[in-house]
A and B are shown apart, each in its own frame.
Chain A
Amino acid sequence: MTHPASLITMCNVSKFFGDFQALKDVSLDVAVGERVVICGPSGSGKSTLIRCINRLEAHEEGDIVVDGVTLSEDAETLNKIRGSVGMVFQQFNLFPHLTVAQNLTLGPRRVLGLSETNARARAMKYLERVQIPDQADKYPRQLSGGQQQRVAIARSLCMEPRILLFDEPTSALDPEMIAEVLEVMTELAASGMTMIVVTHEMGFARRVANKMVFMDKGEIVEVGAPEDVFTAPKSPRFAKFLQQIINH
């Protein structure tokens, strides 16, 4: 597969929380259609990194270019970025007072200006895609965790983003529900969606990723193709980390 253009370019990005440096000089390129899996120990800055991409966190140093737009505080830029980047959270973050369909149509109606009918049609299309069209008129708390996370994925898809960010999408799920979410994500990857996924699901990484990123202490320690890093990680820290995960 060829990657014609970079969709995301991070160049020497640093991020501080007060005196604490959460990201240290991080550089990363993500091409169109690429599936990047980020792993690393807790507190290594994985969430911070992907949250910088849609500016849920603002970085202090370096540049982030998303879909040709350099991130800045400017409101219009922010809108553009967030229009092209979707995000799926560990805790789903569905809107509990809205039905599944309302969760899905809110963005399309208010941001993209779709009519009620068109937004609903789009919502149904993506609910089919995540295989729960029959739950459209339920409230989130009536659904299982796996179903809720699939609704959250559908909510992101409804904005028709160019990039989807996942922050440990299966970590809050019971084991039996992890598979159904990973299946939807695998299907998305197959459809050509550009994805950055923070996860410790190494089986998924092996199947889906075409780039593995290992982070530790705010740094990107190693980047490589999964077939290389899984068989022969270059850095000892990554080797140790993989060992721990696999033995776990």
Chain B
Amino acid sequence: MKRILVVTILLALLSGCSGNWGWYVVDPTTPTGAANLRFLVSGAYNTILMSVTAICISVVVGLFIALPGLSRKRSWRSINRVYVEVVRSVPILVLLLWVYYGLPQLSGLTLNVFWAGVLALALSDSAFQAEIFRAGIQSIGKGQYEAAQSISLNYRDTMRYVILPQAIRRILPALGNQLVYMLKMSSLVSVIGMQELTRKANELVVSEYRPLEIYTILVLEYLVLILIVSAGVRWLERHMNSEEA
């Protein structure tokens, strides 16, 4: 409800700018306009679901790629380097096409549009997550490891109870950035037919011929989503910091 209110206010403002706008396509007071608007907004569910699923996977994968990168052994570190460099250099769209059209031929495993999208987004993001985790973990002083060793904590417990809780606090802003990035990049999955925000907008443009208004709404939809995420991340940061104070 609140979102519709914001949108209508912005629409009213925008419609004053020039005579070329035709807001009737998304006028919530008319039945077609309201239906169109509902159609556009309905893509949010898939955009969010896909982005959140992808980021959950990429955080876990990223962490497990980051750990060998911190090893003293060169061979472990090179596993990390190769993964990060290779994955990071593939454009997301290319990765997406490869996963959706190429992977089935390679492995006989066919993914539906949703999982192909999630896989491509998560894979691509995991390289960045790995770098973020590595930097975060490296920012924790050597004294913390030594203190953990001096009370006999093993590697797993040292990471779990001492290093990662501190590292995650420090990388929270960067993780927030990645989620924002993910929400935006999920628009690419529209290319293979995922019914998310961008795809819905494209389809409506085809039937209504009002790209200006419809894409403006699309811009606003992403804006609102991302503002919500930013606020959430900032809340989390404050919450975690106050825990220590």
Contact = CB atoms under 8 A, between A and B. Distances in A.
A94 B166 contact: no
Interface string A11-51: 00000000000000000000000000000000000000000
B147 A94 contact: yes
B152 A93 contact: no
Contacts of B157: 110-111
Given A56-B146, A89-B143, A93-B143, A155 B151 contact: yes
Nearest to B144: A93
Contacts of B150: 54, 56, 82, 85-87, 89, 156
Contact of A82 (B149, B169, B245): B149
Given A93-B143, A93-B146, A97-B165, A111 B152 contact: yes
Nearest to B155: A75
Given A89-B146, A97-B166, A97-B169, A111 B244 contact: no
Contacts of A159: 151-152
A141 interface: yes
Contacts of A91: 143
A111 B151 contact: yes
Contacts of A158: 151
B interface bracket (residues with beta carbon within 8 Å of A): 10 to 19
A155 B150 CA distance: 10
A111 B154 CA distance: 8
B244 A97 contact: yes
B199 to A, nearest CB: 43
A233 interface: no
Most buried by B among A56, A86, A107: A107
Interface in A79-104: 79, 82-83, 85-87, 89, 91, 93-98
A7 B143 CA distance: 26
A93 B244 contact: no
B162 interface: yes
A194 to B, nearest CB: 16
A98 B245 CA distance: 11
A91 to B, nearest CB: 6
Contacts of B169: 97
Most buried by B among A82, A141, A152: A82
Nearest to A84: B152
A83 B150 CA distance: 8
A107 B166 contact: no
Contacts of A139: 244-245
A156 B157 CA distance: 17
Contacts of B153: 106-107, 110-111
A96 B161 CA distance: 11
Given A93-B147, A110-B157, A110-B161, 7 more contacts: A89-B146, A89-B150, A94-B147, A95-B147, A96-B166, A97-B165, A106-B153
29 contacts: A79-B152, A82-B149, A82-B150, A82-B151, A82-B152, A85-B150, A87-B150, A89-B143, A89-B147, A93-B144, A93-B146, A95-B147, A95-B166, A96-B166, A97-B165, A97-B166, A97-B169, A97-B243, A106-B161, A106-B162, A107-B151, A107-B152, A107-B153, A110-B157, A111-B151, A111-B153, A152-B147, A156-B151, A158-B151
Interface of B: 143-144, 146-147, 149-154, 157, 161-162, 165-166, 169, 243-245
